[in-house]
Amino acid sequence: MTERSARPELGPPQSPMLEIGASVPRADAWAKVIGAEHYAIDHYPLGLLWAGARRAGLAHARLRGVAIEAARALPGVVAVLTAADVPGTNRQGIVHKDQPVLVEDHVRHWGDPVALVLAEDRETLRRALALVEPDLEPLPGVFDIAAALRPDAPTLHPGGNVLLEAEISTGDTASAWDVCAAIVEGTFDLPFQDHGFLETQNGVAQVEPDGILTLTVSTQAPFRDRFEIAHALGLDPLRIRVISPYLGGAFGGKDGATVQCLLALAALHVGGRPVKMVWEREECMIAGYKRHAARLCYRLGALTNGTLHALDCQLYFDTGAYAHLGGEVMELGLEHAGGPYRIAHTRMRGWAVYTNNPIGGAMRGFGVCQASFGFERMLDRLAAALGRDRLDLRRQNALRRGDRNAAGVTLVHSTGLAACLETLSRHPLWLERDRWPDQAPPLKRRGVGVAAVFNAMGYGRGLPDAAIAKIALTPDGRFRVDSAVSDMGQGNASAFAQIAGQILCQRADAIELVQPDTARALPSGSSSAGRTTYSYGNALVRACEALRAKLLHRASLLLMVDEPSGLALLPGRVRHLPTGRDLPLARLAAMLPETDRVSIEQFVMPVSQEVPDTGKAFVIGFPHVLFAYAAHLAYVEIDTLTGKLEVCRYLAVTDGGRVLNPRNFDQQIQGAVAQGIGYALCEELRLQEGRILNPDFARYLLPTSLDVPDIASLAVATVEDTGPFGMKGIGEVGINGPLPAIASAVEAALGRCPSQSPLEPRRLVAEVAAPSASDDAPR
Amino acid sequence: MKIHLILNGTPREMKVAPDRRVVDLLREDLGLTGVKEGCGSGECGTCTILVDGEARLSCLLLAAQLDGCRLTTIEGLAQDGRLHPVQQAFIDQGAVQCGYCTPGMILAAVDLLNRQPHPTREAIRVALSGNLCRCTGYQMIVDAVETAARRMREGEDA
Amino acid sequence: MTQVLIPTSLPELWSALREQPSAHLYAGGTDLLVKRRAGLLDPAILIHLGRIDALRGVTADDDGLRLGAGCTHRELLEDAQVRAVLPVLTQALQTLGSPPIRAMGTLGGNLCTASPAGDTLPPLYVLDAEVELWSAGGERRLLLRDFILGPGRTALQSGEILAAVRVRRAPHGSVQHFEKVGLRNALACSLVSLAALVQTNPAGRVKHAAFAWGSVGPTVIRVPEVERHLIGQPLSLSVLSEAAVLARRAVAPIDDLRADADYRRQVAGNLLLRLAETGSAPER
């Protein structure tokens, strides 16, 4: 029954020990580099049908009917469905159920689906979609925030065009301005941003012989999807199974229903045949969710000594045709509107507004990415007005643990901003900043910019942020983690393997990761909000510890030792240390029934125990208590002839608690910064009366390898007591820095910076040409 | 029409619709789903394959054009059960995140290193500039190609 | 279903064109197949030109270079003669599309697409390039600027193909310069581009100048007033600034998604100032 431990270590040498803190290679890398990983889009079940949606093609209209006869008559067309075919409520939405699966009578944006076509092949589908004719009566539309708020504006929804209006206030702003030595103001406009994930929204669905509706979807929220589908189509959520393979990117854009309800509806009509739906790039952009366009109006005041004293701001978010998470996006924006600073007196008001534009939804750093432009521009202007160094002013006001933030919440958890700013201040790129502009070549101007940013983690108060982890010893003596939160590329699955490997003392090849499947895993929320690794990881820590304890107890019985204290888990075995006897895990597993080989544990993220007497409009989401922080630095060069801006060097210093895997940490930071550089430089949805003029990669421009510099990423040494091994989520904070840091650098170079993003050549060339530029440029 | 080609080292004769896009032929007819599609219009590089050893966009190739060609997809890059040095370097250097751009990115890098064994970082960035990646910010991909280039040179020296 | 014909010789091509006069021709497919996917054209028959050896290759003689229309951008970029004789073209090719687009797209395709934003056009305009048009019946030659009639329109007649481009050597000591302004550094359509060919005397005075702008009119634009203005002048910032005013007056840009007309007009003039940057051939 036992073996001596003289024989060589188990496991091939290339399978590393999974230890926390080491840059072990990602668990998913091997399958991805050989092209073997099956994403949702790679599933082609036998006998599949192709489904496609006919989009309205008008941003606001009365839908009088849909002519489907011609499409239905086309050979190879299996079904053409309209709203009349939708059982259930025909409504979807994460918080507010206001978005139809198929439009009944009111088209609210260009990409609204009016019919669903099912065909034997894609070519037939394409032709049939063109034959579907919606009968549309155009309605006057609202295409920007100001238009939506006019009293006589056409309304999109029964409650009017304001999805949510809210205020977060602290102190007494009425009198606070009087003592301010400097007051700065600004209004800023930011466009819709597209996620630009490479795998477009897609999935397959099928009603199984036992009546279970099974979907394999590129989704961030498989468990919630069941309820979305069930609510919209009048089904039993527990008769729906959602499988979420590795995603080809998502960044928030696959949080909420994309293809799910359409696919489910299709599957209900084809007698058990599988149905596949893939949105092409153009449809992905037209019908998919976006980062909200926003307008920010800021007023910030400071005392003579530089202490931030009073803030008044109004943040307007264009949530487009449907709510999605518009109210929550605005909540995050407001909660972060004061920046990562102490401000005694704040009045922050926000509006999430419906328009006939594309749907604003979740995207990495939602709400905060926009607000960061506002508060950091204000800090730069204040520094100029006070004659202060930009970094120094930020360090003076930076939030520290124990402070109340601008939303009135006491920071009881790790708060590493000061350490980030300190690290940045000692970095050669900051110390040598004066050389950069001095060495500008002819016809170029150069500047250095800084930004301090933060981002809340988790769902916030009112919506328990919980995860339930499941790990099992397999019959062959390995461990299987049933992940319940999707891996959209951020590497949480690899982190789970590392956590399990660390606690159970196993090599990589002993940990099997199963991607979320609602039939196997347990509800654990969405892959979003910087909470994926934190929440599920915490649950997994507990599950692994419980499993370890259990296995050692069981092993003690098999090894006939009195108690488990002398037993240790080692790669592939349990060893009795006093005698050196080994029990292979496969042997142990064989002795245990399946129910005894499993460990399931739950974790719920802490919430604020202090409920500020403000933000009452937020039923969920306010406040948050856990934040990641970062300080960013950018070197830019602007061509004076063309206005073209290059980001030449970049530094990101991040407080994400303890780093579980340094390389994967840097992956997240560099990727977020690159996406933020796109947001700062060239990414903008161009709209004309609600129609996207650039719904493809030829005209909506993502940064290429020649547009992003090497990015230095440093982590500060904080520990978050509540996090798994001390970590915090850092998926989002990195995207908040580039726009303000680059804007700060532009102002340093030109003496001014556009208040509208992105910072495109056409905007910068105008600043270059403007008179009296560089006199008061910050250094 | 009937075409002959060598696909991942194996001679094949196939009956194809001449205007079928090569990306569809590979993914849907031949099950080579390591070939990805991101935009369908040559703007993302996700569908990159090697045709006669050079990187090509399979969304802008028609099946008829393949007659007589030698094709390599990501599935055919590893030889004798050993990863290509570029594949190994992508794992080692953290160049893989969501992995959707990875097959095309790797094949574009292989094309570069076949022609230019000593590329600078700048040359690597140029060579990969037709392959979009939304996850990594490109830096670790450039690191990986540098690493692969070094290992390939050292392998030749050895 | 679209039929795809792949002739491997000129006789095969002529016979295919005779039998299928409505066929669309393509080489790299980087333009035509994109338009086909977008539903902008739905050809019943396609003729692929990629396997006709007579359309490939670069040859040199005393006068200059002959560039096969079937050469891919990558082949031209890697060609030592093109690099040596036509650096302005090499510079433009470096900015064209992306490496895979350059590996697939051809010179002939770029010219026949006749986009004012086509990156090979401005260099070939300043070089006064000629095109060789072949048909079953014979050959004719046209100046490139006479070949391009408007956006998407050329002088190609039915049954005719673009076979080659002929470029004379620039006078010894000429500065050749190309700059393209895009919204990113690869995979970018030009907002404005400028090709320049300038010859100066030993005193640094301009003897000959040719400039061609892309993306600021329905076709590539040359501005004789600018070229005349510079004759006998040094390439100083002030002289070039005067020329820039003339250039801005002459170009005819439009607003589109990528840039507005005012920006294009402004920058079309500004780009001339780059020639003063170093006083000699600016290398990119």
What CATH number did the domain enclosing A671 receive? Answer: 3.30.365.10
Q: What is the mean pLDDT of chain B?
A: 97
B100: chain A residues, CB-CB within 8 Å: 39, 197-199, 248-249, 489
- pTM across the whole model: 0.97
Distance from the Cα of A281 to chain B's closest Cα (Å) equals: 5
Same domain, A534 and A635: no
C243: chain A residues, CB-CB within 8 Å: none
Peptide bond into A623 cis (omega under 30): yes
Band (pLDDT 50/70/90 cuts) for residue B157 is low
Same domain, A493 and A627: no
| Residue at a domain's end among A228, A247, A278 | A278
pLDDT given for residue B114 in this prediction? 97
Q: Which fold has domain B2-76?
A: Ubiquitin-like (UB roll) (3.10.20)
Of B19, B48, B108, the CB nearest to C4: B19
Of B32, B35, B96, the CB nearest to A29: B96
Of A197, A663, A706, the CB nearest to B134: A197
Provide Rg for chain B, Cα atoms.
Answer: 15
A443: chain C residues, CB-CB within 8 Å: 273-274, 277
Question: Taking CA atoms, what residue in A is nearest to B142?
Answer: A705
- The answer to whether C70 faces chain B, any CB pair under 8 Å, is no
A179 domain residue, yes or no? no
CB-based contact B19 C3, cutoff 8 Å = yes
- Could you tell me where in chain B the CATH 1.10.150.120 domains are found? 85-154
Among A122, A285, A642, the residue to mutate for chain C (most C Cβ within 10 A): A642
Domain count, chain A: 3
The CATH homologous superfamily for domain B85-154 is [2Fe-2S]-binding domain (1.10.150.120)
pLDDT given for residue C277 in this prediction? 54
A192 domain residue, yes or no? no
Order of strands, edge to edge, in the sheet holding C130-135? Answer: C58-60, C64-68, C160-168, C130-135, C138-143
B41: chain A residues, CB-CB within 8 Å: 281, 696-698
pLDDT given for residue A771 in this prediction? 62
pLDDT given for residue A476 in this prediction? 96
How is residue C156 written in tokens?
Answer: 């190609």
How is residue B49 written in tokens?
Answer: 């394959």
Same domain, A301 and A397: yes
DSSP A9: P
Same domain, A527 and A646: no
Among C20, C51, C78, C104, the residue to mutate for chain B (most B Cβ within 10 A): C104
Give the helix ranges, DSSP H, for A508-599.
Answer: 537-558, 585-591
Distance CA(C265)–CA(A489), nearest Å, equals 43
Band (pLDDT 50/70/90 cuts) for residue B155 is confident
Same domain, A696 and A677: yes
pLDDT given for residue C172 in this prediction? 85
Same domain, A655 and A583: no
A172 domain residue, yes or no? no
Peptide bond into A12 cis (omega under 30): no
pLDDT tens profile B131-147: 999 999 999 999 999 99
pLDDT given for residue C1 in this prediction? 85
B140: chain A residues, CB-CB within 8 Å: 663, 666-667, 670
- The answer to whether C267 faces chain A, any CB pair under 8 Å, is yes
pLDDT given for residue A776 in this prediction? 45
User: Sign of dihedral through CA atoms A400, A403, A405, A410?
Assistant: positive
pLDDT given for residue A595 in this prediction? 96
**Strands (DSSP E) along A557-689, which ranges?**
567-570, 573-576, 581-584, 598-604, 627-639, 645-655, 687-688
pLDDT given for residue A14 in this prediction? 66
The phi, psi pair for C41, rounded to 5°, reads -150, 150
Do A582 and A2 meet the contact criterion of CB atoms below 8 Å apart? Answer: yes
How is residue A77 written in tokens?
Answer: 């067309």
| Residue at a domain's end among A582, A604, A626 | A604
Question: How far is CA A237 from each of CA A91, A470, A751, rounded to the nearest angstrom?
Answer: 15, 21, 58
Distance CA(A488)–CA(A527), nearest Å, equals 8
Distance from the Cα of B158 to chain C's closest Cα (Å) equals: 30
Distance CA(A58)–CA(A111), nearest Å, equals 8
Size of interface B-C (CB pairs under 8 A): 82
pLDDT given for residue C173 in this prediction? 84
Do A474 and A512 meet the contact criterion of CB atoms below 8 Å apart? Answer: yes
| Residue at a domain's end among A604, A625, A649 | A604
Same domain, A432 and A521: no
Distance CA(A689)–CA(A139), nearest Å, equals 12
Comparing CA positions, the residue from A318, A104, A80, A27 lying closest to residue A190 is: A318
Size of interface A-C (CB pairs under 8 A): 60
Q: What percent of chain B has a predicted confidence (pLDDT) above 90?
A: 96
Tens of pLDDT along chain C (284 residues)? 899 999 999 999 999 999 999 999 999 999 999 999 999 999 999 999 999 999 999 999 999 999 999 999 999 999 999 999 999 999 999 999 999 999 999 999 999 999 999 999 999 999 999 999 999 999 999 999 999 999 999 999 999 999 999 999 998 889 999 999 999 999 999 999 999 999 999 999 999 999 999 999 999 999 999 999 999 999 999 999 999 999 999 999 999 999 999 999 999 999 999 999 554 444 33
CB-based contact C273 A761, cutoff 8 Å = no
A627 domain residue, yes or no? yes
DSSP C143-164: EHHHHEEETTEESPPTTEEEEE
CB-based contact A704 C187, cutoff 8 Å = yes
B130: chain A residues, CB-CB within 8 Å: 704
Distance CA(B27)–CA(A561), nearest Å, equals 57
CB-based contact C99 B130, cutoff 8 Å = yes
CB-based contact A704 C184, cutoff 8 Å = yes
pLDDT along chain A (779 residues), means of 10: 43 76 96 98 98 98 98 98 98 97 98 98 97 98 98 97 98 96 98 98 98 98 98 98 98 98 98 98 98 98 98 98 98 98 98 98 98 98 98 98 97 98 98 97 97 97 96 98 98 98 97 98 97 98 98 97 95 97 98 97 95 91 96 98 98 98 98 98 98 98 98 97 97 98 98 97 91 46
Amino acid at A667: Q
Distance from the Cα of B110 to chain C's closest Cα (Å) equals: 13
Question: How far is CA A485 from each of CA A44, A481, A515, A598, C5, rounded to the nearest angstrom?
Answer: 24, 11, 8, 18, 50
Same domain, A679 and A638: yes
How is residue A397 written in tokens?
Answer: 């006001």
CB-based contact B141 A705, cutoff 8 Å = yes
Same domain, A480 and A588: yes
The torsion region of residue C112 among left (phi > 0), alpha (psi -120 to 50) and beta comes to: alpha
Same domain, A534 and A626: no
Q: How many degrees, rounded to 5, is the angle at CA C159 between CA C156 and CA C162?
A: 45
- The answer to whether A33 faces chain B, any CB pair under 8 Å, is yes
- Could you tell me where in chain B the CATH 3.10.20.30 domains are found? 2-76
A285 domain residue, yes or no? no
Same domain, A571 and A475: yes
- The answer to whether C44 faces chain B, any CB pair under 8 Å, is no
Distance from the Cα of A379 to chain B's closest Cα (Å) equals: 28
- The answer to whether B41 faces chain C, any CB pair under 8 Å, is yes
Give the helix ranges, DSSP H, for A214-367.
Answer: 222-233, 260-268, 281-287, 326-335
Same domain, A241 and A340: no
Distance CA(A181)–CA(A335), nearest Å, equals 25
Do C116 and C219 meet the contact criterion of CB atoms below 8 Å apart? Answer: yes
List the beta bridge partners of residue B6: B11, B70
Question: Taking CA atoms, what residue in B is nearest to A195?
Answer: B134
Question: Taking CA atoms, what residue in A is nearest to B135?
Answer: A671
Among C215, C240, C270, the residue to mutate for chain A (most A Cβ within 10 A): C270
CB-based contact A707 C187, cutoff 8 Å = no
Other C-beta atoms closer than 10 Å to the C-beta of A135 total 12
CB-based contact C184 A707, cutoff 8 Å = yes
Kind and range of the H or E run holding A163: strand A162-170
Question: Taking CA atoms, what residue in B is nearest to A494?
Answer: B97
List the beta bridge partners of residue A471: A481, A599
Of B67, B111, B130, the CB nearest to C98: B130
Distance CA(A42)–CA(A217), nearest Å, equals 11
- The answer to whether C36 faces chain A, any CB pair under 8 Å, is no
**Which structural domain range is residue A720 located in?**
293-460+611-769
Do A115 and A107 meet the contact criterion of CB atoms below 8 Å apart? Answer: no
DSSP A40: G
Distance from the Cα of C29 to chain B's closest Cα (Å) equals: 6
Distance CA(A485)–CA(A220), nearest Å, equals 7
